[in-house]
Amino acid sequence: MTTPATSLDARIEVRKTYKLYIGGAFPRTESGRSYLVSAADGTPVANACRGSRKDLRDAVRAARKAFPGWADRTAMNRGQVLYRVAELMEGRRDQFVAEVQQAEGLRVDRARVAVDRAIDRWVWYAGWADKIAQVLGSSNPVAADYFNFTIPEATGVVGIVAPEASSLLGLVSRLAPPLVSGNAVVVLTSESRPLPAITLAEVLATSDVPGGVVNVITGLRKELVPVMAAHVDIDAIDVWGVPDAARRDTELLAAESVKRIVRRPSGTTDARFDWLDDRASERPEWIAAYLEMKTVWHPIGV
């Protein structure tokens, strides 16, 4: 004989509320707000912080503080640190697969391919850390007794509006290029699919990447994109994930403080871009987009 179910047998699942990642720590949003994150099939899975403009300002402040130390590291050391991130991602591969599958509604085999490609892409970009200066830099011919060198240097603090459609692979493809060359980054995650980005933040927190070099904000794009675009202490902004309807206004705000603007290729859309295409996503040009070329004159024999 079975015991009939009682009201005590029914319970409401306690959904986790994921935090922000700012300055190497995981604070709650100062606004106290959150929003519901659902799986691709509409099933509620978690809550994410609804970041505010103050949260974003705090993230920019942390990035600015961390930037000099990260940019001054040797290129080889930055490559080693970023390769370690890939090792940690590999250790949490199953978690990433489950989250990408849930967020994007993929079959497990396709989610596994996306995660594997994200780890491999991180390794690919890490390998460029001590090579990009050789490719982009030059010794220029001059008709005098001095040397003239062109040297690529990091731009500074980069704001990234992450792709909406690709929760992990797209994010890695946009995040790794500015990091490789010594920039500090503030990421606005996918609004509807933020959980893989937050897990990546947990990986970064346990890696050797200094706190503040990468800052991750979740929230509503209509609230945060204009703040990011207008912030005078952000030197460059990647508008890949900005909806087409808001692109013009975003770029006009960015132009007021003379930001460098990085766009997706002409004729592509966020939703239809093939992130698995290595020829499109693994390009040294994406690293160059976050670099400034500095020319140095040096007398011969001194």
Across-strand partners of 236?
158, 260
- Angle of helix 108-126 relative to helix 75-91, nearest 10 degrees? 160
Question: For residue 9, is pLDDT > 70?
Answer: no
* Rounded Cα distance, 165 and 241, in Å: 9
Beta bridge partners of 153: 292
214, containing H or E segment:
strand 214-217
Q: For residue 170, report the phi and psi dihedrals to the nearest 5 degrees.
A: -65, -40
Distance CA 276, CA 283 (A): 13
User: What residue ranges do the domains of the chain occupy?
Assistant: 16-299
SS3 299: strand
Which is it for strands 146-154 and 291-299: parallel, antiparallel or unpaired?
Answer: antiparallel
To 10 degrees, the CA torsion angle through 267, 271, 272, 275? 100
Q: What is the pTM of this model?
A: 0.92
Ranges of beta strands (E only) in 80-165 are 138-139, 146-154, 157-161
CA distance 20 to 12: 25
d(CA 148, CA 140): 5
Task: Give counts: helices (H), strands (E), the chain.
Answer: 11, 11
- Region of poorest pLDDT, from 58-62, 184-188, 290-294: 290-294
Report pLDDT for 268.
82
pLDDT digits (tens, 9 = 90+) for 19-52: 999 999 999 999 999 999 999 999 999 999 999 9
299: phi then psi, degrees, rounded to nearest 5? -65, 145
Per-residue model confidence (pLDDT) at position 260: 96
Tokens found for residue 71 = 């940019």
pLDDT at 302: 57
> In the predicted model, is pLDDT for residue 266 greater than 90?
no
CA distance 64 to 140: 32
Tell me: pLDDT of 102 over 90.
yes
Fold held by 16-299? Aldehyde Dehydrogenase; Chain A, domain 1 (3.40.605)
**Gap between the Cα atoms of 38 and 114, Å rounded:** 20
Q: Each residue of 232-265: b (16+ CB within 10 Å) or e?
A: eebbbbbbbbbeeebeeebbebbeeeebbebebe
Q: pLDDT of 239-255, one tens digit each?
A: 999 999 999 999 999 99
In the structure encoding, which two tokens stand for residue 11, read together?
Answer: 């319970």
> Which of the four pLDDT bands, split at 50, 70 and 90, describes residue 11?
confident
